[in-house]
Structure 1
Amino acid sequence: MKKNNIIFIGMPAVGKSTIGVVAAKRLGMRFVDTDLLIQEQEGRLLHEIIEEAGEDGFLAIENRVNRELQVENSVIAPGGSVVYSDEAMRHFKEIGTVIYLRVSYDTIRRRIRNPRQRGVVLREGQSFQELYEERVKLFEKYADITIDEDQLSIEETIGKVLSVIKN
């Protein structure tokens, strides 16, 4: 398989899907939201999967769906927790360029008032800031390219993404 996909990683509310759809349109690529694929394959909503299968069950499903994804010429937006799935992330690095959309904790906190309502999986007793700090290390580990979008509008972020991809 050719390595011609673009995979966006980052916290919920960084704009992976929004930026992904626009980038795909402008680049003439397909857009794939793997959270929607998970829901489609499982026949239930993400929060239902988490409630019924638990966090570990959800992560196993997320890992499977993402590591089995076979696409070309696509912009892929997986859920923020995909970075816990080493198999899925290794697969993404083989099939494309992984772009980390980075924003500060303060920005994420402003965008997400209620993490649980947003479908963010927090372990028992884990704060949202602890989750952020834990995931940032993983995002940085897997990223081929990092785009800092603090202080940027969505349009400016898309412009930055497109200029990085075209170089």
Structure 2
Amino acid sequence: MKNNKSIVLIGMPGAGKSTVGVLLAKELALDFVDTDVLIQTREGKTLQEIMNESDYLNLRRIEGEVIAEAELPGYVIATGGSAVYSEAGMANLGRFGPIVFLNCSAEELRRRIHNYESRGIAKAPGQSFAELFEERQALYRKYADITVECDGCDLQQVLDAVLRELKAL
């Protein structure tokens, strides 16, 4: 691991970034932060409210600003699923430590996400989940230092896999 010891989690909504992130933070005695919460705190609104009042591109712009300006050494950082659209934001987060892609198949994510339309997911109007999934896969792989396959795994198995991969760095 890099000296500044943060760990950045990326992946689709429903991949388990926040849930695994809290467990990882406990395991490694690090602070935990969810960048979606940073956005909501800054804006005083939920992600869905931000999109309802403007559009998904505005949410992505705000997210990019928040993660590009963040100073988060010593954290487990759970990002929003659309964080990877911000090159400056991902470059900033990558300064703090390895980027871990929690990879779930589209089928697994469909089983996990039941509120796709109301969850505050930054997607184009009318864009299907399958289209969004395909669009983001290449971006997640581009930024990932580590990829952990999550299909068929429980939380402990995912946590153990992340820890194994981090040790191998």
TM-score range, shorter chain: over 0.9
Alpha-carbon contact 1:116-1:122 (below 8 Å) kept: no
**In the TM superposition, what are the counterparts of 1:33-48 in structure 2 within 5 Å?**
33-48=34-49
Alignment partners' CA distance in 1, 2:74 and 2:120: 29
Q: Which moved more, 1:36-45 or 1:16-25?
A: 36-45
1:25-45 deviation per Cα after TM superposition (whole angstroms, max 9, x unaligned): 110000011111111111111
| Aligned residue in 2 for 1:105 | 106
Alpha-carbon contact 2:57-2:122 (below 8 Å) kept: no
Alignment partners' CA distance in 1, 2:86 and 2:119: 20
Amino acid at match of 1:158: L
| Aligned residue in 1 for 2:122 | 121
Number of residues of Structure 1 aligned to a counterpart in Structure 2: 167
Alignment partners' CA distance in 1, 2:74 and 2:119: 29
Alpha-carbon contact 1:2-1:72 (below 8 Å) kept: no
Which ranges in structure 1 are unaligned for 5 or more consecutive residues? none
Q: Which moved more, 1:86-95 or 1:26-35?
A: 86-95
TM-score by structure 2 length?
0.94
Shift of 1:2: 5.0
> Which stretches of structure 1, 4 residues or more, deviate above 4 A after TM superposition?
none
RMSD of equivalent CA atoms: 1.4
Amino acid at match of 2:36: D
TM-score by structure 1 length?
0.95
Shift of 1:125: 2.6
